[in-house]
């Protein structure tokens, strides 16, 4: 039995991989349970909502809540949506998926959605000074009352008996990024973990609502340094599908190259940090050199093309052919370097001993909503480039490496093999680089508004595989140039969430290794 | 007295606060650039207690500001602050998360606008800062005061 036959008119197919299911609030929990167990949609990718204050559907309710589910077998997605009227409460789905809790906390603080009794949550991303809900349409920006609280929190975290409080943030040298991680330790073992995120929360989703769609792309690029270009491509893909543009073959191929390059750089940085943690100083320098090589290549391409390599409808008009000749040499060098890292690190006993800790099993990883290398390291064969291919990924043969046990060591193995496979993909694309124009005639400045008006009000979800997993963009368009609502499906958000419960009863220095190999990007996490 | 100022010019020890998109290029700039290495001695510090130049590379939200204040308080007495990035956007297009007017807590010596500023601009800013140090100008208080404090 398929979901179409079961739900009939409530089930609408959008594309062949994405469908919408609109149901009443009372049936919500049962429907999600049915979808999870009977129709095999085991992964909860995202929960988000939008304020219907200025929307076409505003008579139906106050909020529209959407649950994004994924089936691994058919790689289909279903978006379960329900309307929430004033004074109605949403049931929590934390019993079905553990990964739902942070999304619900986000809903509560951003939109002011209230939950049923027993599922009340504390704020997650916003500071304590903030009393209003920013994603409401009535929200007005006002300057914060800036009063840094002196010794507000630290008083309650004094150690007692044989319990000790250890802070791994926000500027701790061991983790090199900024999330507040507090560990309650008994001896060397972790008893409880406190995560405090939102240091880099900048309200990007709200900012996007105030901008024309043409302005959003470059801002998305700053979410990550190594794979920033890949993030930009992810957004452009979504916008082009919304506008109904088809881009030329040559542009698609160049975008594939850029995406794979940034994947190599991101993995190389992560391998370098893991190597440093495993006391392999030489390998660290080698891996950082690999990352620098790739980043320099990308920066060189950008500089030669006059600052623009990506634009709506293709790639920048000045991307030069001589860069591709340069790239062939770079790929060869990078391959040698990757092999060298592989040779030094994979067989190293001390490194292995340090990294084989804190295993994530496959059901756990699915329960938390993992994607990308962290999911594949647990042994789940799911890669968007093969399961739902975009651009020319279905024409390029490559392997998807799988891990066995989900330890940091198998994550490292998956990453180093993905580096090799990415370089192989780049080589193949360079050999068969199609000729033709670099972009369509579409001019974003003059044609945007007319094109959007022709297409009418609609919404679209698009996804790409970046270094960290599935990056999704959901654009809801009503009128004018701006999006009505834009949702970024962050890759780090579900991954960090699992850290809170997984690290209990592990040694605290293992927690550091595990955290590093999860590859959390703080700016992208907080958005 | 003059000797001390000269010493301080050589021993500019920056600490870079923040992370994400702006930090990685800044770190590599400080590690690779000859100008910084030879003229300023810009060896990056990983703890605030040994640094004397605080570099704030991106915008601040209230949560981060609280931590920044803690880092600033831990730095020893003659200290300089350099702010880069778009949190000083004159058109006020900053997102709701950004704090406006945090300068009242941290006296800033030098601003470098841009999103993010290029390497040349950062180096130019460092030159300017060095001129100010040579002249004995310091935003938090005058240099003489801080020297007497140290003694």
Model pLDDT for residues A295-309, shown as the tens digit of each residue: 888 888 888 887 788
The C-alpha torsion from A257 through A259 and A260 to A263, rounded to 10°, is 160
**What ipTM was predicted for this assembly?**
0.70
Residues in chain A: 527
Q: Is B32 in the A-facing interface, judged by CB distances under 8 Å? A: no
pLDDT at B143 over 50: no
Helix, strand, coil percentages, rounded to 5, for chain B: 50, 10, 40
Q: Exposed e or buried b for every residue in B67-102, given b needs 16+ CB within 10 A?
A: bbbebbeebeebbbbbbbbbbbeeeeebbbbbbbeb
Report how far residue B107's alpha carbon sits from residue A147's, in angstroms, rounded to the nearest whole number. Answer: 16
Read off the pLDDT of each residue in A389-409 and give the average, rounded to a whole number.
Answer: 90
Q: Which residue has the higher pLDDT, A366 or A277?
A: A366
- Which of B19, B24, B95 is nearest residue A206 as measured by Cβ atoms? B95
Q: Which of A382-386, A453-457, A483-487 has the lowest mean pLDDT?
A: A453-457
- Which of A148, A207, A224 is nearest residue B21 as measured by Cβ atoms? A224
pLDDT band at residue B90 under the 50/70/90 scheme = very low
Q: Which of A50-64, A123-137, A477-491 has the lowest mean pLDDT?
A: A123-137
Q: Which of A147-151, A179-183, A398-402, A408-412 has the lowest mean pLDDT?
A: A147-151
CA distance B61 to chain A (A): 7
Query: Which chain A residues have a beta carbon less than 8 Å from that of B66?
Result: 148-149
Cα B63 to its chain centre, rounded Å, is 20
Q: Is there a contact between A110 and A130 (Cβ–Cβ < 8 Å)? A: no
* Chain A nearest-CA residue for B104: A146
Neighbour count for residue A219 (Cβ, 10 Å): 17
Best to test chain A binding among B17, B24, B56, B66 (most A CBs inside 10 Å): B66
Read off the pLDDT of each residue in A110-120 and give the average, rounded to a whole number.
Answer: 76
Q: Which of A124-133, A360-369, B26-35, B127-136 has the lowest mean pLDDT?
A: B26-35
Contact yes or no for B61 and A198 at CB 8 A:
yes
Q: What is the pLDDT of residue B36?
A: 54
Query: Which chain A residues have a beta carbon less than 8 Å from that of B23?
Result: 225
Contact yes or no for A173 and B46 at CB 8 A:
yes
- Chain A to chain B Cβ contacts (< 8 Å): 89
Indicate left, alpha or beta for A203 from its phi (over 0: left) and psi (-120 to 50: alpha): left
CA distance B128 to chain A (A): 27
Report how far residue A106's alpha carbon sits from residue A112's, in angstroms, rounded to the nearest whole number. Answer: 9
Q: What percent of chain A has pLDDT over 70?
A: 92
- Which of A129, A146, A226 is nearest residue B101 as measured by Cβ atoms? A146
pLDDT at A235 over 90: yes
User: Considering only CA atoms, which of A121, A110, A126 is closest in space to residue A201?
Assistant: A126
Q: Which of A398-412, A426-440, B116-130 has the lowest mean pLDDT?
A: B116-130
Q: Is A299 in the B-facing interface, judged by CB distances under 8 Å? A: no
CA distance A147 to chain B (A): 8
CA distance B117 to chain A (A): 13
Query: Which chain B residues have a beta carbon less than 8 Å from that of A232?
Result: none
Q: Which residues share a beta bridge with A461? A: A474
- pLDDT winner (highest mean) among A8-17, A288-297, B20-29: A288-297
Q: Which pairing describes strands A18-22 and A11-13: parallel, antiparallel, or unpaired? A: antiparallel
Q: Is there a contact between A284 and A277 (Cβ–Cβ < 8 Å)? A: no
Q: Is A143 in the B-facing interface, judged by CB distances under 8 Å? A: yes
Report how far residue B93's alpha carbon sits from residue A337's, in angstroms, rounded to the nearest whole number. Answer: 44
Report how far residue A433's alpha carbon sits from residue A425's, in angstroms, rounded to the nearest whole number. Answer: 12
Best to test chain A binding among B20, B26, B58, B64 (most A CBs inside 10 Å): B20
* pLDDT mean across residues, chain A: 84
* Chain B nearest-CA residue for A169: B67
Q: What is the pLDDT of residue A155?
A: 44
- pLDDT winner (highest mean) among A128-137, A177-186, A424-433, B50-59: A424-433
Q: Is A114 in the B-facing interface, judged by CB distances under 8 Å? A: no
Residue with tokens 């330890």: A407
Q: What is the DSSP letter of B39?
A: I
pLDDT at A151 over 50: no
Query: Which chain A residues have a beta carbon less than 8 Å from that of B96?
Result: 134, 139, 141, 203, 206-207
Q: Exposed e or buried b for every residue in A98-114, given b needs 16+ CB within 10 A?
A: bbbbbbbbbbbbbbbbe
Q: Is B72 in the A-facing interface, judged by CB distances under 8 Å? A: no
Q: Is A237 in the B-facing interface, judged by CB distances under 8 Å? A: no
Neighbour count for residue A60 (Cβ, 10 Å): 14
Report how far residue A125's alpha carbon sits from residue A117's, in angstroms, rounded to the nearest whole number. Answer: 22
Q: Is A217 in the B-facing interface, judged by CB distances under 8 Å? A: no
Q: Which helix (H) or strand (E) holds A517?
A: helix A508-518
Q: Is there a contact between A277 and A513 (Cβ–Cβ < 8 Å)? A: yes
Query: Which chain A residues have a beta carbon less than 8 Å from that of B48?
Result: 171
Q: Is B37 in the A-facing interface, judged by CB distances under 8 Å? A: no
First to last CA, chain B: 12
Neighbour count for residue A138 (Cβ, 10 Å): 9
Report how far residue A356's alpha carbon sits from residue A354's, in angstroms, rounded to the nearest whole number. Answer: 6
Q: Is A170 in the B-facing interface, judged by CB distances under 8 Å? A: yes
Report how far residue A255's alpha carbon sits from residue A362's, in angstroms, rounded to the nearest whole number. Answer: 32
Read off the pLDDT of each residue in A88-113 and give the average, rounded to a whole number.
Answer: 86
Would you state the structure tokens that stand for residue A505, as one six-digit string? Answer: 């009863």
Would you state the structure tokens that stand for residue A417, as one six-digit string? Answer: 């093999």
Q: What is the pLDDT of residue A125?
A: 83
- Which of B21, B61, B67 is nearest residue A170 as measured by Cβ atoms? B67
Q: What is the pLDDT of residue A237?
A: 92
Would you state the structure tokens that stand for residue A279, as one six-digit string? Answer: 């006391």
């Amino acid at each position: 039995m398929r979901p179409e036959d079961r739900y009939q008119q409530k089930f609408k197919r959008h594309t062949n991989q994405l469908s919408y299911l609109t149901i009443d609030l009372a049936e919500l929990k049962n429907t999600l349970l049915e979808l999870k167990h009977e129709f095999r949609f085991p992964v909860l990718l995202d929960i988000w909502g939008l304020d219907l204050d200025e929307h076409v559907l505003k008579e139906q309710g106050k909020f529209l809540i959407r649950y994004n589910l994924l089936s691994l077998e058919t790689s289909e997605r279903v978006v379960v949506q329900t309307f929430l009227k004033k004074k109605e409460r949403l049931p929590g789905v934390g019993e079905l998926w553990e990964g739902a809790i942070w999304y619900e906390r986000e809903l509560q603080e951003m939109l002011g959605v209230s939950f049923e009794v027993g599922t009340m949550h504390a704020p997650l991303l916003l500071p304590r000074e903030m009393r209003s809900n920013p994603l409401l349409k009535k929200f007005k920006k006002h300057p914060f009352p800036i009063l840094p609280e002196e010794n507000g929190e630290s008083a309650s975290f004094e150690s007692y008996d044989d319990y000790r409080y250890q802070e791994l943030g926000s500027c701790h040298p061991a983790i090199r990024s900024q999330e507040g991680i507090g560990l309650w330790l008994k001896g060397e073992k972790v008893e409880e973990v406190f995560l405090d995120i939102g240091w880099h929360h900048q309200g990007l989703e709200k900012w996007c609502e105030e901008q024309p769609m043409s302005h959003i792309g470059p801002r998305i690029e700053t979410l990550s340094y190594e794979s920033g270009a890949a993030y930009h491509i992810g957004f452009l893909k979504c916008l082009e599908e919304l506008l109904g543009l088809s881009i030329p073959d040559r542009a698609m191929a160049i975008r594939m190259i850029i995406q794979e390059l940034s994947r190599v750089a991101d993995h190389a940085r992560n391998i370098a940090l893991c190597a440093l943690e495993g006391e392999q100083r030489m390998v660290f320098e080698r891996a950082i050199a690999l990352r620098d090589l790739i980043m320099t290549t990308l920066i060189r391409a950008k500089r030669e093309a006059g600052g623009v390599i990506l634009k709506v409808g293709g790639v920048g008009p000045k991307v030069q052919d001589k860069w591709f000749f340069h790239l062939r040499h770079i790929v060869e060098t990078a391959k040698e370097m990757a092999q060298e890292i592989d040779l030094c690190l994979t067989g190293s006993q001390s490194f292995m001993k340090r990294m084989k800790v804190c295993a994530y099993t496959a059901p756990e990883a699915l329960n938390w909503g993992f994607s990308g290398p962290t999911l594949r390291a647990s042994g789940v064969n799911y890669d968007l480039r093969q399961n739902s291919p975009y651009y020319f990924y279905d024409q390029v043969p490559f392997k998807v490496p799988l891990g066995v046990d989900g330890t940091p060591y198998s994550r490292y193995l998956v990453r180093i093999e993905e580096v090799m496979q990415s370089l192989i993909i780049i080589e193949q694309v360079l050999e068969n680089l199609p000729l033709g124009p670099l972009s369509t005639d579409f001019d974003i400045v003059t044609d945007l508004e007319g094109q959007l008006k022709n297409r009418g009000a609609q919404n679209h979800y698009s996804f790409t595989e970046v270094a960290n997993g599935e990056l999704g963009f959901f654009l809801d368009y009503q009128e004018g140039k701006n999006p009505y609502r834009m949702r970024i499906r962050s890759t780090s958000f579900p991954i960090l969430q699992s850290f809170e419960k997984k690290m209990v009863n592990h040694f605290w220095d293992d927690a550091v290794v595990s955290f590093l190999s999860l590859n959390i990007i703080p700016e992208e996490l907080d958005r | 007295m003059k000797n001390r100022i000269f010493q301080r010019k050589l021993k500019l020890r920056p600490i870079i606060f923040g992370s994400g998109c702006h930090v990685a290029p800044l770190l590599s700039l400080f590690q690779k650039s000859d100008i910084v290495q030879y003229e300023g001695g810009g060896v990056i510090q990983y703890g605030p207690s040994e640094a004397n130049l605080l570099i704030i590379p991106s915008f601040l939200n209230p949560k981060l500001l609280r931590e920044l204040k803690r880092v600033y308080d831990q730095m020893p007495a003659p200290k300089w602050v350099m702010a880069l990035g778009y949190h000083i956007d004159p058109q006020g297009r900053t997102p709701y998360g950004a704090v406006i007017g945090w300068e009242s807590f941290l006296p800033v010596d030098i601003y470098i606008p841009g999103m993010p500023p290029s390497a040349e601009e950062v180096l130019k800013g460092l030159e300017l800062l060095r001129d100010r140090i040579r002249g004995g100008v310091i935003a938090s208080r005058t240099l003489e005061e801080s020297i007497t404090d140290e003694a």
